[in-house]
Amino acid sequence: MTATDGQWHRLDARSIAAAGAVVAGPVLAAVLVMVIAGAGAMPVLITFLIGLASALLVAGIATYQWVFFRYRITEERFEQHLGGLFRNHRSLPRDRIRTVDLTAAPHERLFGITTVKISTGAQASEATIRLQSVTRSAAESLRRDMTLGGESIVEDSPDDGVLSRLKPEWLGYSALTVSLMLVVWGAIGSAVGSLDELLRKWGVFEALGGVITSLGIVIFVLVVAAIAIVVGVLGSFLLSLEMWWGFQLTREPGTLRVKRGLLTTRSLSLEERRLRGLELCEPLPLRLAGGARLNAVATGLQEQKQDQKQPDSKTLLPPAPRAEARRVAAAVLRDQPFDVALIRHPTSAMRRRIGWALMSALAVAVVVAIPAVPGWIPVGFAVALVLLALVAGLGFAVDAHRALGHALDERYLLARNGSALRRTVALQRENIIGWRISRTVFQRRSGLMTVGATTAAGSSVYRIYDVPAGEGLALADEAVPGLLAPFLERVEK
């Protein structure tokens, strides 16, 4: 099958068996556990029949889709037709298509099929067509032959092959990812909430109350915090192992491709002509370990929802050594903008951050005073928490000021900010379409402003925080000559 044969095609018939297996597998495992545990014949039979009925229902839905679902690709459009009782016809112009992503869950890999998602990058559901499921060869043919965006790839477009591939030691950096730790802690909290009655029946909460009484609230909190950190690190390591195993970043003619996944394999493709820059992300734990990750600033990439466990589709490099991130950035851009020295921001910007730190410490003091006054927690412990918040806040303030910086080179505008999450973006100057200038009351008193470069890619606005007013306006005018000039009044010195 070629991508532009114009013929109507069906999904693969193995999708029916794969859909039924998703339900049948867990049910058979549950029946096996019941048999081993010595459950009666009737409960085992009922569980088996319920599982069988569910599997047949899901397989029936998959059969309906296989019978009535059609898709085809012409020179101009990608079309989908689904209709039995109700008919639905959807079409995407090929010149609007931005991404073609391949995903194979474990049950799909077992049956040799893959899910293909074709998207224009818009947020509306009508902007995406999902083929679930097609053979692996057909999926690769779709990805390769559609020439993303419907335009031909220049024949002499370079193909550099593999730009980066996972090294096992990098998984240690992924284990320091706070977002993955939050996923682990959230899953544990959800499990505790779901098993609340069972835990009460077993006396778990009463036992915890006894432990608190024997150890004291302070020691108990410290022990729980230590256990949470250890569990979070181990859990994030396992999650990163599943997400990033087999990672490989390659450059094909006109396209960057990311392949990854242990149990569920994923392949994401990005046209290089959609690339507007790169973003170097350094969360604090990862930065302290000398690591970073690399994101693309590109048009047509859908933003990832916060509750999803998978990394953003914009991620080009998982947590890795900072030197590797810089090397990959230079290979992707065929330039080295991250090697440019950044201009530091004035001490007035640090004073603003110290003020925020003092306000945060005051808020912590108010919160801990509520249980400390009636004696629910020791006064010394409350004072220690306030002092810890003050010291941490001041540390973050100084670090955040040190992170502030900006620069211009021939092709890119660079901006860096953040402490808990430090971001350094290299944005193509030619793709800046506007400026967003803002000044708070406190910034005006300090002679500072925030300059935001707007672009039709990534997060849309990339800001340079707390830059001196005159310097910020001059920077914007120099980055894109003429764009801001009608709004500037030049003062002769």
pLDDT in tens, 383-417: 888 999 999 999 999 999 999 999 999 999 999 99
- For residue 355, is it within any domain? yes
My answer on whether 385 and 298 are in the same domain is: no
Please tell me the predicted confidence (pLDDT) of residue 196.
Answer: 67
pLDDT in tens, 18-43: 888 888 888 888 888 778 767 778 88
My answer on whether 73 and 110 are in the same domain is: yes
- For residue 281, is it within any domain? yes
254: left (phi over 0), alpha (psi -120 to 50) or beta: left
Q: Tell me the C-alpha to C-alpha distance, in Å, between residue 68 and each of 62, 240, 285, 384.
A: 10, 38, 51, 67
Non-local CB neighbours of 136 within 8 Å, separated by 6+ positions: 104, 112, 113, 114
- For residue 322, is it within any domain? yes
Question: For residue 442, what are its two tokens?
Answer: 């406190």
The number of angstroms, rounded, from the C-alpha of 112 to the middle of its chain's C-alpha atoms is 27
Instruction: Evaluate whether 154 touches 146 at the Cβ level (below 8 Å).
Output: no
My answer on whether 100 and 234 are in the same domain is: no
Q: Tell me the C-alpha to C-alpha distance, in Å, between residue 327 and each of 154, 275, 323, 338, 424.
A: 26, 17, 6, 10, 15
Instruction: Evaluate whether 388 touches 325 at the Cβ level (below 8 Å).
Output: no
Instruction: Evaluate whether 30 touches 51 at the Cβ level (below 8 Å).
Output: yes
In angstroms, the CA 190 to CA 309 distance is: 15
Give 305's pLDDT tier (boundaries 50, 70, 90).
Answer: very low
In angstroms, the CA 194 to CA 205 distance is: 14
Which of 155-169, 334-348, 424-438 is the least confident region?
Answer: 155-169
My answer on whether 307 and 208 are in the same domain is: yes
pLDDT in tens, 447-470: 999 999 999 888 899 999 999 998
- Per-range mean pLDDT, top range of 13-22, 207-216, 371-380: 13-22
Q: Tell me the C-alpha to C-alpha distance, in Å, between residue 244 and each of 173, 310, 311, 372, 477.
A: 12, 10, 10, 46, 42
Structural domains counted in the chain: 3
My answer on whether 144 and 180 are in the same domain is: no
Question: For residue 375, what are its two tokens?
Answer: 């004696």
Pick from 354, 372, 402: which residue ends a domain? 402
Q: What is the mean pLDDT of the chain?
A: 84
In angstroms, the CA 193 to CA 138 distance is: 44
Asked if pLDDT for residue 306 goes beyond 60, the answer is no
346: left (phi over 0), alpha (psi -120 to 50) or beta: beta
My answer on whether 129 and 25 are in the same domain is: yes
Instruction: Evaluate whether 300 touches 313 at the Cβ level (below 8 Å).
Output: no
Asked if pLDDT for residue 90 goes beyond 50, the answer is yes
Please tell me the predicted confidence (pLDDT) of residue 331.
Answer: 94
pLDDT in tens, 422-439: 999 999 999 999 999 999
- For residue 9, is it within any domain? no
My answer on whether 281 and 382 are in the same domain is: no
My answer on whether 235 and 138 are in the same domain is: no
In angstroms and rounded to an integer, the radius of gyration of the C-alpha atoms of the chain is: 28
- For residue 48, is it within any domain? yes
Consecutive H or E run containing 89: strand 87-93
Give 471's pLDDT tier (boundaries 50, 70, 90).
Answer: very high
My answer on whether 389 and 316 are in the same domain is: no
E strand map for 180-290: 248-252, 255-260, 265-271, 275-283
Scanning the structure block, which residue is given the tokens 């048999």? Answer: 35
Q: Which residue has the higher pLDDT, 276 or 89?
A: 276
Half-sphere exposure for 365 (CA within 13 Å, toward CB): 11
Which of 179-188, 285-294, 327-336 is the least confident region?
Answer: 179-188
My answer on whether 26 and 117 are in the same domain is: yes
Give 198's pLDDT tier (boundaries 50, 70, 90).
Answer: low
Which of 87-91, 254-258, 358-362 is the least confident region?
Answer: 87-91
My answer on whether 307 and 188 are in the same domain is: yes
Could you report how far apart the first and last alpha carbons of the chain are, in Å? 70
Q: Is the bond leading into 133 cis (omega within 30 degrees of zero)?
A: yes
- For residue 2, is it within any domain? no
Give 353's pLDDT tier (boundaries 50, 70, 90).
Answer: very high
CA nearest 115: which of 273, 261, 7?
A: 261
Please tell me the predicted confidence (pLDDT) of residue 311.
Answer: 58
- For residue 264, is it within any domain? no
- For residue 27, is it within any domain? yes
My answer on whether 38 and 79 are in the same domain is: yes
The whole domain housing 250 covers: 161-254+272-334
**Residue 337 CB neighbour total at 10 angstroms:** 24
Q: Tell me the C-alpha to C-alpha distance, in Å, between residue 184 and each of 69, 191, 217, 262, 293.
A: 38, 11, 24, 18, 20
